[in-house]
Amino acid sequence: MKIAVLSGKGGTGKTLVAVNLAAVTAPSCYIDCDVEEPNGHLFFKPTSIKSKPISVLLPQVDPLLCDGCRACVEFCQFNALAYVQNKLMVFDEICHSCGGCMLVCPQKALTEREKVIGSVEEGSSEQVYVKSGFLNPGESSGIPVIKALLDSREPELSENTWIDCPPGSACIVMESIREADYCVLVAEPTLFGVHNLAMVHELVKLFKKPYGVVLNKCLPEVNPAEEYCKEHEIPILDKIPFDHYLGELNAKGIIVSRESEEYRNRFLGIWERIQEEVQQ
């Protein structure tokens, strides 16, 4: 089963939940799709790392073949091309690598060139197969890195795959949850947290994914995120209390469920709840 962990904002505890669930369900696979700031590997500290570069294809023009017909400029829906002073200009960061310009060029003046935009690293950490995506600074879209992460095969012994999503509800999150069988939404006990929970709630409904919520950093006071869940009849998988001990271990890059029996049982409890939800 593939389970995506997501939230409307950063810092709610997506990585905490995804890393610990992957750890307690080992042999498993953990995929860090938060390619702009991947941090799951800081907890797992995987070994035997294999790294491969991820590239996109961009058009390049042969000025001797280009006759300035502008078929490519007119075709490009992203306006990544312009033709001025008898010269074709290509805007790399606007290009979505669709390859259409090459197809419509009657002179066959356009060919593809590779541009490295990031990398994928794979390694192991105590029966957890860890895959992390890294997008190079300055690149506009992490989608190709996420595609490469999700397309590569995991070792067969890992029954469950945990996908640590980027924050928010934009295209890169949609790409990350596309293949997921279940979504875990992580929310903070604040009004701001509710707003962000509502964003990802809308997204998982749109994608018709089964889902449940983990309420993180819970305090004794009224929890607006819990109220939201009750109002919308969203299953609450667990309420993780605000805990200094947890914060300290997390800040040291320690996987809490590998350190504490109490937390190991807590995350196993979440896993049981997810399995119950999926069976329903």
Partner 1 sequence: MKLMVPVDEKNMQTDVCISFGRAPYFMLYDTDSQTAEFIDNDAVHRQGGAGIRAAQLISDFHPDALLTPRCGDNAADVIKGAGIPMMKAIKGKATDNVQAYKEGRLEVLGETHPGLHQHGGC
Residues that bind partner 1 (CB under 8 A): 73, 76-85, 87, 89, 91, 93-94, 96, 140-141, 143, 170-171
Check if the beta carbon of residue 21 is closer than 8 Å to that of residue 153: no
Pick 65 or 82: Cβ nearer partner 1: 82
CB of 266 to partner 1, least distance (A): 35
Pick 61 or 256: Cβ nearer partner 1: 61
Pick 82 or 157: Cβ nearer partner 1: 82
CB of 82 to partner 1, least distance (A): 5
Sign of CA dihedral 24, 29, 31, 32: positive
CB of 241 to partner 1, least distance (A): 35
CB of 7 to partner 1, least distance (A): 18
Q: Report the C-alpha gap between 201 and 207 in whole angstroms.
A: 10
Check if the beta carbon of residue 17 is closer than 8 Å to that of residue 186: yes
Pick 75 or 271: Cβ nearer partner 1: 75
The H or E element that residue 82 is part of is strand 81-84
The residues, ordered by sequence, that sit 6+ positions from 74 with a Cβ below 8 Å of its Cβ are: none
Q: Report the C-alpha gap between 274 and 267 in whole angstroms.
A: 11
Query: In terms of DSSP H, where are the helices of the chain?
Result: 14-24, 40-44, 71-75, 100-104, 143-151, 171-177, 191-206, 224-231, 244-251, 256-259, 261-279
Pick 73 or 213: Cβ nearer partner 1: 73
CB of 106 to partner 1, least distance (A): 19
CB of 142 to partner 1, least distance (A): 10
Q: Report the C-alpha gap between 99 and 49 in whole angstroms.
A: 33
Q: Report the C-alpha gap between 167 and 132 in whole angstroms.
A: 15
Pick 76 or 274: Cβ nearer partner 1: 76
